[in-house]
Structure 1
Amino acid sequence: MKNICYMMFIFLFVLTACNNEEETRFAQHHASSDVSISEKEQIITKQRITLSAIGDMLIHDGVYHDAQTANGYDFKPMLELVKPYLEETTLSIANQETMIGGAEIGLSSYPSFNSPYEVGDALKDAGVDIVSIANNHTLDRGEKAIQNAIAHWNAIDMVYTGAYQSDQDSEQLRIVEKEGMRVAFLSYTYGTNGIPVPAGKDYLVNLIDPVKMKADIAEAEEQADVTVVSMHFGAEYQRLPNESQKELAQVIADAGGDVVIGHHPHVLQPMEMLKGKNGNETFVVYSLGNFLSSQNELYRRLGGILQIEIEKVSGPVDEVVSIKNPKFIPTFVYYERHRNYKVVPMHQLEPGMLANGEKLHEEIKQHMSQWMPELKFP
């Protein structure tokens, strides 16, 4: 009987010990899991930058004659009222529609443009960081103007995209890193006014080619956090995008591009948010109009400054980029008898500068926000 009791005692002791050991392992496992969850929560980070964009810098002879000085050209006073808006964002991009090939090869206006180097200096001074130079006027004055322009962009440390010095230059993806975020900039044009691209020199201008664009965006998405695509497309002077523009914007969205900035119509076209095939959202402004030009039809004197926030949320598994808080500052190209050119924010128009200015300002606000009610204005 004692042996039986003794054996039962041993069995209960071992069973209790096993249970205690299992409870200890269970507690240790959950303690470890709790620490892991806490660590994961701690490594979720948010980064944010801001981007501003302006439309066509279309330098007609009236503009560069007005900028002429005893020692060259000075376009800086023309941009002094918009400079604060370009400087206040992390990055700013402009569509430089005309090649700044310099006075040494002869300045020229429509239909075959060549502009002073000092246009680039004024953009740099105003806070612009990147210029898109793929457009229908890229080849106006041939390779010499392009090479001269790029040499000057390099001299003033301005990032350019869409036209290049060489094959090697064109293969170098334009990525700008600011505040821990890497932003890639791409640029394409529908054509070059019938001027053929020189044989073997495709690098001189990026033409719209959906296959190439998809490949470029895929590369950009691998190397950068954000991909911004400048598109020279659409029909001139049409205030709404056509089907081709919408289709190309959707191609970019489906490829994973984050922002599409449209140029070429020379008038303002609205903006909207597209959904890509992978569920991503892509911000699109179909045309930012003329920013500085000598065109005199009313809607061709209206442009603006787009401002957006780009936020990246990084977690333990993936990263999500979103475009937030879009803002638009409508502008007007003011001049008197083609003198005293100045880009003026419409909310800063002085009496006498523009007939029915307040009414037109409200019209532009409604026009640009018709597909994006959340769009803000100053």
Structure 2
Amino acid sequence: MKSISTYSFLIILTTLLAFTGCTELQEKAKDHPPVVDDEIIEQREVKPEPVVSNATVAGVGDVLLHGSIYRDAENGDTYHFDDMFAAVKPYLEKADITIANQESMIGGKELGLSTYPQFNSPFEIGDTLQRSGVDIVSIANNHTLDRGEKAIMNALNHWDEIGMPYVGAYRNEDDRATIRTLERNGISFSFLAYTYGTNGIPVPKGKPYLVNLIDKEKIEADIHEAKELSDVVVVSLHFGNEYERMPNENQKELTQFIANAGAHIIFGHHPHVLQPVDFVQSKEGHETFVAYSLGNFLAAQEAKHDHYRRIGGILQVEVEKVEFDGEATVRVHSPSFLPTYIHFQNWKNYRILPMHSLTNNKLSNAAQRYEETKQHMQQFIPYLQFMDDDTLQTRFE
């Protein structure tokens, strides 16, 4: 009996100690709530969210001031071009960045204005472009050297005076080595420009910076440098054959080369007529958007029974940058286009008008020609959208 009682006593004592210990632990637990397993799992699963940035880039074709255009703009001692751009200004302003091909050098009237075949234009067209929503101009083209180095320097001085970045012609080697960059909405853009030639006018000896000629080795090196400075590389190309409505093999080959070098967007001009847009896949697998030719935006070219030289447009693309875990990827997508028409009568009253707003009083068979233009531009990209929002424009009778 004694042994049994002792055993019972030990059991009771152990139970009391255990109970007391549990009570103390419970009291301490009130001040320190236990960590729930679900919370541990949730903390382990939290990951940084990707940062997404978006911006839009637009390009327009040739701004080539023939004599009848600057005479139409003459207003006393100055030149007033704003009315010519009024109808398309809302579209030019719509994009975060808009680039235009200012084809005729703006050497100013003091140098003597001139038209085809060797152009020199008033400074005031540059002011109008800026007021109309253009953010940067390409000036590498076959007319860059038309009036020599003096016209180029006059033009660059004016672009600098109004704070308009320019690409494709420069004042010296240091200027050419400075790649132009613009930033919008957290995305940085670099701009480059090149031309196939200068109408046989030789580049002054020792001054290659006066105009960027198409040189693959130079282009590739410039693109690689631009990619170090920015997220997106935009290349302006003056190439192709005049008045041909489809890109030729040389254009396609050069476009592929530039895509392989790493450019994201290519805006083409020189044919003076529209050529279709496309996406080109690079050897690295990314897609490069190309507008082979954006036609004439403002010019006075007219051939008999040929309205194509009076049609141009505003091409806009969306750019998306996604940053995640220290890496950034860029995608160009959702191209859209506004076909435009240069209207004038008797070489006067020049106006750039959206084609969707035209009636037959401005262009015969206006609706049919607008649809034909849309189909032409969609040949390679059937999903190309068109900026035909009537809320931005009234109809032009």
Query: Post-superposition, which runs of at least 4 consecutive aligned residues in structure 1 deviate over 4 A?
Result: 30-37
Residue 293 (structure 1) shift:
0.3
Change (3 A) 1:337 1:255: same
1:21-47: CA deviation from partner (whole Å, max 9, x where unpaired) = xxxxxx9xx98896465233x2x1110
Q: 2 CA distance for matches of 1:276 and 1:220?
A: 17
2:345 maps to amino acid: E
Structure-1 separation of matches of 2:40 and 2:251: 54
* 2:174 match: 168
User: Structure 1 pair 345/203, CA: closer, same or farther in 2 (3 Å)?
Assistant: same
Q: Which residue of 1 aligns with 2:25?
A: none
Amino acid in structure 1 at the alignment position of 2:53: Q
Q: What residue is the counterpart of 2:327 in the other structure?
A: 318
Question: Aligned to 1:331, which of 333, 340, 358?
Answer: 340
User: Within 5 Å, which residues of 2 pair with 1:267-346?
Assistant: 267-297=273-303, 298-346=307-355
Query: Which has the higher mean CA deviation after the structures are superposed, 341-350 or 261-270?
Result: 341-350
AA of the residue aligned to 1:39: K
C-alpha separation in 2, matches of 1:299 and 1:36: 62
Counterpart residue number, 1:20: none
Q: Select 1:81's aligned residue among 63, 79, 87.
A: 87
Aligned to 2:189: 183
Task: Give the secondary structure class of the aligned counterpart of 1:254.
Answer: helix
For residues 168 and 102 of structure 1, the distance between their equivalents in structure 2, rounded to whole angstroms, comes to 25
1:363 corresponds in structure 2 to 372
Give me the whole-angstrom Cα distance separating, in 2, the residues matched to 1:174 and 1:35.
45
Give, as a single letter, the amino acid of the residue that structure 1 aligns with 2:191: F
TM-align CA RMSD: 1.7
Structure 1 residue identity aligned to 2:334: N
Cα distance change of structure 1 residues 293 and 39 upon mapping to structure 2, 3 Å threshold: same
- Whole-Å separation in 1 of the counterparts to 2:341 and 2:216: 34
2:239 counterpart residue number? 233
Matched, 1:91 2:91: no
Give the whole-Å Cα distance in 1 for the aligned partners of 2:184 and 2:274. 29
CA distance in 1, matches of 2:237, 2:137: 12
Shift of 1:374: 1.1
Counterpart residue type for residue 189 of structure 1: T
AA aligned to 1:110 is: Y
- Equivalent position SS for 1:111: coil
Once the two structures are TM-superposed, the CA of residue 243 in structure 1 deviates from its matched residue by 0.5
Code of the aligned partner of 1:206: N
- Cα deviations by residue, 1:182-219 (Å, 9 ceiling, x for unpaired): 10000000000011111111110000001110110011
Against the structure 1 CA distance between its residues 35 and 233, is the aligned structure 2 distance closer, same or farther, given a 3 Å change threshold?
farther
Q: Which of 21, 38, 48 is the matching residue for 2:46?
A: 38
Structure 2, unaligned runs of 5 or more = 1-34, 389-397
Query: Aligned partners of 1:323 and 1:255: how far apart in 2?
Result: 16
Partner of 1:352: 361
Query: What is the TM-score when the length of structure 2 is the normalising length?
Result: 0.86
- Provide the rounded CA distance (Å) in 1 between the counterparts of 2:344 and 2:111: 28
In the alignment, is the contact (CA less than 8 A) between 2:159 and 2:165 conserved in 1? yes
Show CA shifts across 1:225-246 (max 9, x none). Answer: 0000000000000000000100
How many residues were matched structurally?
350
What amino acid does structure 2 have at the position aligned with 1:342?
R
Instruction: Indicate conservation of the 8 Å contact 2:359/2:367, yes or no.
Output: no
TM-score, with length taken from structure 1: 0.90
- The structure that has the greater radius of gyration is 2
Question: Residue 351 of structure 1: CA displacement?
Answer: 3.8
State the percentage of identical aligned residues. Answer: 53
Output the CA distance in 2 between the equivalents of 1:78 and 1:166. 34
**Secondary structure of the structure 2 residue equivalent to 1:214:** helix
Following TM superposition, by how much is the alpha carbon of 1:318 offset from its aligned partner in structure 2, in angstroms? 2.1
Distance in 2, Cα, partners of 1:150 & 1:165:
7
Distance 1:35 1:114 in 2: 67
- Residue 133 of structure 1 corresponds to 139
Secondary structure at the residue paired with 1:39?
A: coil
1:168 to 1:37, Cα distance in 2 relative to 1, 3 A: farther
Structure 1 letter corresponding to 2:63 = M
Q: Is the 8 A contact 2:359 2:366 kept in 1?
A: no
Post-superposition offset of 1:142: 0.2
Give the letter for the 2:68 counterpart: G
2:73 aligns to what? 67
- Per the alignment, residue 155 of structure 1 pairs with 161
| CA gap 1:203/1:361 in 2 versus in 1, 3 angstroms | same
* Separation (CA, whole Å) in 1 of partners of 2:182 and 2:43: 37
